[in-house]
């Protein structure tokens, strides 16, 4: 195996017996991790694997939360790292367009866009670490997905290697295209189970003239969610509507709301004009403040780490529910934790009904981790009962295998399986991931 | 056949020997056109057809431009009209959300949203006639797709009948969901070839505070396209960037630019604030005007009909190219027409590089129509050579069968065929349509 792979990508780009882990807490080992230097080399590696019935797991920035890059049960799985595919193949600011390879980081895309007065709106966390390919594989979201939509909305074309090792493109720089079935959209969010995305054409957009956050803290979850309702009824389209529950506020105190300790919900919205900011301040009511955007997002970026630090470890999910059930899901998260002897809490993308429901854990306490795993299953049940989903933006990966079968009708699951078989008849693309 | 179908939907909802035609100029007959009264009845009809190996063609508002509702070669094809599925199952303005059945017209969705201070941004033409199901089947666009994206961007879930007659949902009211493969997105734009969409959950958004069009006419195509470049470089995100070439200006004079006769390009953009309007006026240069939105869009809605009326008949395509190739495509359309002894012209969605390239025809002149058909094939070649696509928003239907094979690599086409086979193993869903 190693000699063959080395002949395709160079011996210095084949590592042996490598541990693969992401932010999910899952990990595993692959006998070989190859780092192709081009899309053509990715195709050559896939062709070799497909010919030799060798399973593949594509590896991006390793910042995922669902074990998407952790190998499944097959000990002979080859890891394919996209790091070396880090070229911006083209960037045409005046055409609001960029073609970037899969290994380009989220931060690089964002920075290059910003330097030219543009934004690439999807803003999942871990920007310095996460890569475009991973964002595409999970159809990543982030705070600004509320107004701007998830990653796939901003991708007009992808280049991918599909079975049995063919480098193809679906779409391109053209902004509208209905000539074929939307295989571009099908591969986005497929977590590498239908092929390996090697590059994408991104749609950019001029940066909004201003980023004007507003924030307020509320004594109860219900009061905070009522304020979110008022925001939705204000006539304004906020760029983001974020929230933290009381436990998260305590773990990650907001510098712009020093008196929020003891509050049960903190709400942050972002306006893009002074007029809209004033409307949002009114919707959030007395005590709402309008801190600088840099301060808000610097703080917000640290929330996940701060919540983890509160006890040393945590288990986080990313269920999503219809927005009118947000309060139920926030309270339900705490109640589920309590039933398992765990401190439950959540924060997330309120406007999208997307909760990062979490349980605080003592590091190394395996029994506690097992209780949290059991509690997580109850989170999925709750999400479904509220009309929602087991994953809003992190994907299924290894961690949530089997959840779709609880969520979709059998015929719908059969359709998903049929599509998987059609595009990956040998079942070699990231086996065990996104398993219904 | 008729007795069986009548037993499923009621004899009064089964018509015999019905002609089916849309705006493409194509037509055909089906031995039976059934009009189910519910999604469950659609499922029953599909199940009967699938069991008896009978081909199906779903029929919406009949306003399509590619013959998507015109039966293919099989004389025993059953038409399934969605007209009676015309319920708004739910409408929650404060949650920016609507669940509508496939037979609801585009105008109804727009009107109900507007009455509540919201918009459903996709705005394809023929709003009073076209139905949501058809918009989803073609992933329809329209002028405001430039800022807001096409239909699929605004759909969080669909209900559909898939083989062999199963009523399923992919997604729902929840705004973010990556638990399964994106079969929602796959069915959108599939032109009824993978199943029949019976309802959809639509995402709405508060209406922009203002709709402030600006317009200008230019002496040459290149000068007009340079102005479009200036618009893209202005830092403003226009809601729409439309254009008409000289022949279309003559056919559909703009009341707000009475001196535009003899101009070679007319550009209309829409701003959503006074600040942005002023920026766009500056980008369009001397002579730019800011007419009322109602006047602009009433005129714009009539352009297609006015161009047809210029000579009595026309053949229109909807190629799309990267926006920097727009001028080439506009001039190329005229040149292709000239080579075939036809008056070529175009108008469309400039910002998306989406041209309704057309040839003016004398009604009933079959030889002229044949020359136009040949010229249309050259339009597709030109679009591909410019890095674009044979269809930006109308779909492939019957009219453009075979175009995808010229546009995608063989392996990509094979993937599309494999997906089709996986979801429609008997090939009974709208056969002959969207044929690669």
Residue pLDDT, tens place only, B68-90: 999 998 999 999 999 999 999 99
Residues of B in contact with A323 (CB under 8 A): 95, 175
**Contact map slice: A 343-362 vs B, CB within 8 A:** 349, 351-354
Q: Rounded to 10 degrees, what is the CA torsion of B175, B177, B181, B185?
A: 10
Mean pLDDT for all residues in chain B: 97
Q: Which positions ≥6 away from A142 have C-beta within 8 Å?
A: A122, A123, A124, A125, A349, A393
ipTM higher than threshold 0.90: yes
Q: Would you call A182 and B190 a contact, using CB atoms and an 8 Å cutoff?
A: yes
Mean pLDDT for all residues in chain A: 97
Q: What share of chain A is helix, strand, coil (3-state, %, to 5)?
A: 35, 25, 40
Of all residues in chain B, the one with the smallest CA distance to A135 is B178
Identity of the residue in A97, A183, A322 whose CB atom sits nearest the CB atom of B174: A322
Residue A199 in contact with residue A158, Cβ under 8 Å?
yes
**Minimum distance, in Å, between the CA of residue B150 and any CA atom of chain A:** 8
* A388 interfacial to chain B (CB closer than 8 Å): yes
Of all residues in chain A, the one with the smallest CA distance to B143 is A176
* A241 interfacial to chain B (CB closer than 8 Å): no
Q: Would you call B166 and A411 a contact, using CB atoms and an 8 Å cutoff?
A: yes
Residue A221 in contact with residue A264, Cβ under 8 Å?
yes
**Contact map slice: A 17-76 vs B, CB within 8 A:** none
**Minimum distance, in Å, between the CA of residue B60 and any CA atom of chain A:** 18
B88-206 folds as 3.30.465
Over its C-alpha atoms, chain A yields an Rg (Å, rounded) of 22
Mean pLDDT for A389-393 is: 96
Mean pLDDT for B139-165 is: 97
Mean pLDDT for B138-152 is: 97
Coil/strand/helix, residue B233:
coil
Q: How far is CA B386 from the centre of its chain?
A: 21
Q: How far is CA B39 from the centre of its chain?
A: 24
**Minimum distance, in Å, between the CA of residue A270 and any CA atom of chain B:** 15
Tell the residue number behind the tokens 């002496």, with chain if given: B219
B208-300 folds as Alpha-Beta Plaits (3.30.70)
Q: What is the pLDDT of residue B224?
A: 98
pLDDT in tens, A224-251: 999 999 999 999 999 999 999 999 999 9
Q: What is the pLDDT of residue B333?
A: 98
* A175 interfacial to chain B (CB closer than 8 Å): yes
* B114 interfacial to chain A (CB closer than 8 Å): no
Distances (CA, A) of B245 to A86, B126, B260, B361: 41, 22, 11, 17
Q: Would you call A408 and B180 a contact, using CB atoms and an 8 Å cutoff?
A: yes
Q: What is the pLDDT of residue A391?
A: 96
Q: Which of A367, A374, A376 is nearest to A346 (CA)?
A: A376
Identity of the residue in B178, B232, B418 whose CB atom sits nearest the CB atom of A138: B178
Interface probe, candidates A123, A176, A354, A400, chain B, greatest B C-beta count within 10 A: A176
Own/partner long-range contacts of B400-405 (Cβ < 8 Å, ≥24 apart): B400/A179, B400/B66, B401/B432, B401/B433, B401/B435, B402/B435, B402/B436, B403/A179, B404/A179, B404/A180, B404/B434, B404/B435, B404/B436, B405/B436
Across the A:B interface, residue pairs with CB atoms under 8 Å apart total 260
Q: Would you call A419 and B186 a contact, using CB atoms and an 8 Å cutoff?
A: yes
Q: What is the pLDDT of residue B206?
A: 98
Q: Would you call A235 and B395 a contact, using CB atoms and an 8 Å cutoff?
A: no
Q: Would you call A178 and B395 a contact, using CB atoms and an 8 Å cutoff?
A: yes
Phi first, then psi: what are they for B46, rounded to 5°? -65, -40
Residues of B in contact with A411 (CB under 8 A): 162, 166, 168
**Minimum distance, in Å, between the CA of residue B333 and any CA atom of chain A:** 18
* B149 interfacial to chain A (CB closer than 8 Å): yes
Mean pLDDT for B24-31 is: 94
Residues of A in contact with B408 (CB under 8 A): 168-170, 179-180
pLDDT in tens, A326-367: 999 999 999 999 999 999 999 999 999 999 999 999 999 999
Q: What is the pLDDT of residue A25?
A: 86
Distances (CA, A) of A194 to A52, A138, B247, B253: 18, 12, 47, 50
Q: Which of B57, B46, B65, B66 is nearest to B19 (CA)?
A: B57
Q: Is the pLDDT of residue A39 over 90?
A: yes
Q: To 10 degrees, what angle do helices B326-339 and B366-385 make?
A: 150
Q: Would you call B392 and A273 a contact, using CB atoms and an 8 Å cutoff?
A: no
Residues of B in contact with A390 (CB under 8 A): 179
Mean pLDDT for B36-62 is: 98
Q: Which positions ≥6 away from B134 have C-beta within 8 Å?
A: B60, B61, B63, B64, B68, B69, B140
Residues of B in contact with A422 (CB under 8 A): 415, 418-419, 421-422
Q: Would you call B190 and A175 a contact, using CB atoms and an 8 Å cutoff?
A: no
* B402 interfacial to chain A (CB closer than 8 Å): no
Of all residues in chain A, the one with the smallest CA distance to B322 is A174
Neighbour order of strands in the sheet with B56-59:
B14-21, B27-34, B78-81, B56-59
Q: To 10 degrees, what angle do helices A326-339 and A366-385 make?
A: 150
Q: What is the pLDDT of residue B25?
A: 86
Mean pLDDT for A198-208 is: 98
Spatial separation of the C-alpha atoms in residues B300 and B306, rounded to whole Å = 10
Residues of B in contact with A387 (CB under 8 A): 172-174
Name the DSSP class of A376. Answer: H
Residues of A in contact with B183 (CB under 8 A): 186, 412, 415-416, 419
Q: What is the pLDDT of residue A36?
A: 98
Of all residues in chain A, the one with the smallest CA distance to B421 is A422
**Contact map slice: A 4-23 vs B, CB within 8 A:** none
Identity of the residue in A95, A182, A235 whose CB atom sits nearest the CB atom of B189: A182
A2-81 folds as 3.30.43
Residue A271 in contact with residue A296, Cβ under 8 Å?
no
Interface probe, candidates B137, B173, B181, B204, chain A, greatest A C-beta count within 10 A: B181
Tell the residue number behind the tokens 């800011």, with chain if given: B290
pLDDT-derived band at B314, boundaries 50, 70, 90: very high
Q: Which positions ≥6 away from A191 have C-beta within 8 Å?
A: A68, A137, A138, A395, A396, A397, A430, A433, A434
* A390 interfacial to chain B (CB closer than 8 Å): yes
Identity of the residue in A94, A173, A354 whose CB atom sits nearest the CB atom of B232: A94
Interface probe, candidates A180, A189, A354, A408, chain B, greatest B C-beta count within 10 A: A180
Residues of B in contact with A321 (CB under 8 A): 174
Mean pLDDT for A39-62 is: 98
Residues of B in contact with A124 (CB under 8 A): none
Name the DSSP class of B253. Answer: -
Q: What is the pLDDT of residue A178?
A: 96
Identity of the residue in B169, B275, B419 whose CB atom sits nearest the CB atom of A419: B419
pLDDT in tens, B230-257: 999 999 999 999 999 999 999 999 999 9
* B210 interfacial to chain A (CB closer than 8 Å): no
Spatial separation of the C-alpha atoms in residues A245 and A232, rounded to whole Å = 19
**Minimum distance, in Å, between the CA of residue B15 and any CA atom of chain A:** 31
Identity of the residue in A95, A182, A421 whose CB atom sits nearest the CB atom of B186: A182
Of all residues in chain A, the one with the smallest CA distance to B236 is A206
DSSP states of A312-361: SEEEE-B-B--GGGHHHHHHHHHHHHHHTT-EEEEEEEGGGTEEEEEEEE
Q: Where are the domains of chain A?
A: 2-81, 88-206, 208-300
Mean pLDDT for B365-380 is: 96
Q: How far is CA A396 from the centre of its chain?
A: 10
pLDDT-derived band at A121, boundaries 50, 70, 90: very high
Q: Would you call B168 and A411 a contact, using CB atoms and an 8 Å cutoff?
A: yes
Phi first, then psi: what are they for B155, rounded to 5°? -120, 115
Q: Is the pLDDT of residue A161 over 90?
A: yes
| Beta carbons within 10 angstroms of residue B408's beta carbon | 22
Identity of the residue in B153, B188, B418 whose CB atom sits nearest the CB atom of A423: B418
Mean pLDDT for A187-205 is: 98
Exposed, middle or buried: residue A47 (CB in 10 Å: 0-12, 13-18, 19+)? middle
Q: What angle do CA A180, B150, B155 make, to 5 degrees?
A: 100
* A124 interfacial to chain B (CB closer than 8 Å): no
């Amino acid at each position: 195996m190693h000699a063959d792979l080395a002949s395709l990508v160079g011996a210095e780009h084949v590592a042996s017996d490598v541990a693969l882990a992401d932010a999910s807490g899952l990990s595993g080992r692959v006998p070989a991790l190859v780092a192709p230097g081009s899309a053509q080399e990715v195709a050559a590696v896939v062709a070799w694997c497909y010919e030799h019935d060798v399973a593949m797991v594509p590896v991006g920035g390793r910042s995922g939360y669902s074990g998407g890059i952790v190998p499944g049960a097959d000990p002979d799985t080859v890891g394919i790292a996209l790091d070396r595919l880090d070229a911006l193949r083209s960037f045409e600011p005046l055409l609001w367009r960029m073609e970037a390879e899969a290994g380009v980081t989220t931060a690089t895309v964002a920075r290059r866009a910003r330097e030219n007065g543009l934004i690439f709106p999807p803003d999942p966390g871990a920007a310095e670490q996460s890569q475009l390919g991973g964002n595409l594989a999970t159809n990543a979201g982030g705070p600004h997905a509320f107004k701007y939509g998830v990653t796939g909305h901003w991708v007009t074309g992808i280049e991918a290697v599909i079975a049995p090792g063919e480098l193809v493109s679906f779409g391109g720089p053209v902004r509208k295209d209905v000539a074929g079935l939307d295989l571009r959209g099908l591969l986005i969010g497929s977590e590498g189970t239908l092929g390996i995305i090697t590059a994408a054409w991104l749609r950019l957009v001029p940066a909004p003239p201003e980023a004007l956050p507003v924030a307020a803290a509320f004594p109860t979850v219900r009061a905070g969610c009522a304020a979110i309702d008022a925001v939705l009824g204000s006539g304004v389209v906020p760029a983001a509507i974020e929230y933290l529950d009381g436990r998260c506020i305590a773990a990650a105190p907001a510098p712009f709301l020093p008196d929020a300790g003891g509050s049960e919900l903190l709400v942050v919205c972002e306006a893009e004009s002074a007029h809209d900011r004033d409307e949002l301040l009114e919707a959030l009511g007395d005590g709402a403040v309008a801190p600088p955007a840099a301060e808000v997002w610097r703080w917000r970026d640290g929330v996940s780490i701060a919540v983890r630090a509160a006890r040393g470890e945590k288990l986080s999910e990313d269920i999503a529910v219809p927005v009118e059930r947000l309060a139920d899901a926030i309270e339900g998260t705490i109640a589920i934790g309590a039933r398992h002897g765990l401190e439950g809490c959540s924060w997330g993308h309120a406007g999208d009904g997307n909760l990062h429901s979490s349980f605080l854990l003592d590091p190394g306490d395996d029994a506690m981790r097992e209780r949290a795993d059991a509690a997580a299953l109850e989170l999925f049940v709750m999400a479904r009962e509220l009309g929602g989903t087991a994953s809003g933006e992190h994907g299924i990966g290894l961690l949530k295998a089997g959840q779709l079968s609880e969520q979709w009708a059998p015929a719908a699951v059969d359709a998903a399986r049929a599509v998987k078989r059609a595009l990956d008849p040998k079942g070699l693309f990231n086996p065990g991931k996104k398993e219904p």
